[in-house]
Structures are given as C-alpha cells and as structure tokens.
A and B are shown apart, each in its own frame.
With several copies, the nearest count.
Chain A
Amino acid sequence: MIASPAALLSPVILFFLLGAVAAFARSDLTVPEAVAKGISLYLMAAIGLKGGVEVAVSGFTTDMALAALAGLTLSVLLPVLAFALLRSFGRLDRLNAGAVAAHYGSVSVVTFVTGVEVLTTGGMPPAGYMVAVLALMELPAIIVGLLLARGRGDDAGAGAGAGGQSTGSLLHETLLNGSVVLLAGSFVIGLVIGKPGFATIAPVFETGFRGVLCLFLLDMGLVAARRLRQARSLTLRLALLGIAMPVINGALGVGLAALTGLSPGSAAALGMLAASASYIAVPAALRLALPQADPGLYLAMSLAVTFPFNITFGLPLYISLAVWMVPA
C-alpha cells in the first residue's frame, strides 16, 4: 500500500519534484533564503513539540530506551562503514571521507518528517519518541567522522594552526547547533505542556504542518537540483555511493529495529533516520571543525543525491523493508 509508488503522488513529494524540475529547466524560481530558514525553524519546532507531546502521553517506556540505544549505535557505527566505502570505492582522501561519513551517520530532519507524513497517511505512524531518537542521532556521527578524518594525528594540517579547535569548543559548538537546540528544546516543551497545552497552538504546529512542508520541499527541490548542476567535485563513483549508502544504512536501521522489537512504523522510521544524511546540523559544524574539507562535495552528496533519492524512492523502500522484516 503506502510502500507503493503511489506515495510519490503525495502533494509533499510533488512539490519537491516541481522544485527539482524548475531548477533543472533553469527557471528563475527561488524561495528567499530568509523565508526558507524561517520555515525550517518552524518544521523543527513542530516536529519537536509533537514528539514531546506524544511522549508526555505515552510516558517513558523500555521500547523508548531500546530505540534510543539502537539509534546511538547506528550513529556511531554507520560513519565507520561509510568511511570505509568512501575511501575504497569512492577514492576519497581521508579528510573528505571523514567529513562525508559524518553526514551519513547523522540524520536529515526533513527526510524524517516527510517519512513520518507518508507513514501516518498510510496508517502506520511511528512512536512519538522517535523524535527524541532523531535528536540523539544528530551529533555522535560528527565526533566519529572527525576522528576518522584526523586519523592517527599524523594528518597535521587538519584542525591545527590558527584554524584549529580544541575538542572542548568543538563539542560545545556541535551540541549547541541551532537546529539541535530547537529540536530538543521543543521536545522538552512538548513534554512539559502535554496534550492540553498543545491544543492551543496545534492550529499552527499540527494543522498547518503538511502545507508548510509542501512549500519547504519546493525549496528543497530547487536547492538540491541547483546544487547537483553546480557540483564540480562529484564523481560517478561518489554519486553511486550517494545512492548505495542510504540503501545499506536504511536496511541496517530497519534490521536493528526489528531485532530490538520496535513496531513496523517505528522500524521504518529508524530505517529512514539511518538512511538519511544530514544537511543542516553537520555541514554547519564541519565548516568550523574541518574547514579544509570541501563543502561542495559533502553537500552535493547529502543534499543533491541522497536527499532526492530518499524522498522519492528511499522512503517507500524502507517502509517495504519494515513491513517485510517486522512482524506486525
């Protein structure tokens, strides 16, 4: 059912395609950057609130702790796997391989949000605590990716000199990345206010969510396609990895979720998180922590290859996998 290509015909996905087509056809359609940023703040506040409210209703459960553990495990191990693939098949130098690996170990809020919309419309909504898992998975991969990029310390250039940065200040900057703070903060607000407090703001954060998401994905389609057109350092091998890695990571995510005993909806959501590659929190952190890595490369891979693949083909795939692997 929802795993069918029919999911492609949801308005949210269609607006993404419209944006991509417009950009490929070189239309001058653009969403002002300030507005796009404002919408992304709204989406993070909304998703955080909804998750918090749901956990306020369901309470803290063992399931939740297990899902968190599974998410953390994935975000530590996936960058290592990605790093190996990027170095060997992708032929990337260590610095850039570490940077890209950090993106694939971390998560994309909008991929998750779109996936949750598809799952909910299809009648298999994931548990509310998956938002907390999302927040937990944003950061560890950054640390792992940096360790991989810097290697055994013989890579003197990376992080040294005036551009260098102590691990302490790095941790601070990563933990306090705006999107992480907003997501986690809204989750806590959702927990505190619960269902009754949420009712008064639900018209904005719930009823309006799907429509606003359409406008954001229109912009994402424009941005992703323009970035693909402008990508210079993207080789065919790297583009292939930009599709292979989400498939592998998604399967691992769904598999681990199945072992952990999550519901099919939550398993699909964990697969989506594993498959998605960050393009908000990680690029911002890496521009600081690894200024020598090529942002054109890691954004092209996460935003121009993996994100569109996930939105169109990936989401139905991870749902099918979850339906197939998890006893309903």
Chain B
Amino acid sequence: MTTTTLRRKVEILVDSPLVPRIAATAAGVGVTAYTLVPTLGGAGHGGEWSDDQVTGADSKVIFTTVTTEEKAAALTDALTPLLESHGLLLLISTVEVVRAQKF
C-alpha cells in the first residue's frame, strides 16, 4: 500500500483581480504551488453575486494550495489582516498526499 502523509489544504475565495496579490503574499511565506478553481456565484453578508467577467469586479476564484502545517499557519497569519478588508474567505482542512516531499 502506498504511504500517505498529512498536509494542510488552504482554500481562499478571492476576487479575480486580487489573485496576484494573494500569490505574492503566499510566495512571501514560501508557498509557491497553487491551483485556481473558478466559481459561478454565491451569497453572503454582502448580498448575492454572480460571475461577471465584463466588469471583472464580481468574479471570484478559489486559490487552493496544499502545504505543510507550518507554511499553512504562516499563510493564514499573513492573510488574516486582509480577510475583512479584502472580503476574503479562508478555509483550512487536512488532506493526505503521496510523495510528501513535493508539498
């Protein structure tokens, strides 16, 4: 049986124009691998929205990265001040991976 290792998955829901900033913040704490997943719409305290590529202002993506416990914590610390001001949603969960050294 293949051995798996525990890692942390961090998912950040962020407005498309702000993705480069999140990527830069992540790189600042050593997190350089990520995948972007699209969204179609949603609702929250700020009301309902649906994907709007024309203005670009209402288009959100999920910045997803799998990394070590330490780096995940560092990324969370670095992003916490922005959660409110930039309207981010941040989720952390535990996943198992093969080839642990990759993450």
Contacts and interface: CB of A to CB of B under 8 A. Distances in A.
A23 to B, nearest CB: 11
B56 A280 contact: yes
Interface of B: 15, 17-18, 21, 25, 46-59, 78-79, 81-82, 85-87
Contacts of B85: 157, 163, 291-292
Interface of A: 28, 32-34, 36-37, 40, 157, 161-163, 219, 223, 226, 230-232, 279-280, 283-284, 286-288, 291-292, 294-296, 299, 303
B21 A280 contact: no
Nearest to B82: A163
Contacts of B87: 291
Nearest to A33: B53
The secondary-structure label for the interface of chain A is: helix
Given A33-B53, A283-B57, 5 more contacts: A230-B47, A279-B54, A287-B57, A288-B21, A299-B58
Contacts of A288: 17-18, 21
Nearest to B45: A232
A286 B58 CA distance: 12
Contacts, number: 77
Nearest to B46: A296
A318 to B, nearest CB: 23
A45 B18 CA distance: 26
A287 B17 contact: yes
B50 to A, nearest CB: 7
A162 B21 CA distance: 8
Contacts of A292: 85-86
A291 B56 contact: no
Contacts of B57: 283-284, 286-287, 295, 299
B15 A287 contact: yes
B2 to A, nearest CB: 14
A32 B53 contact: yes
Nearest to B20: A288
A295 B57 CA distance: 7
Contacts of A34: 53
Contacts of A294: 46
Contacts of A291: 15, 18, 82, 85-87
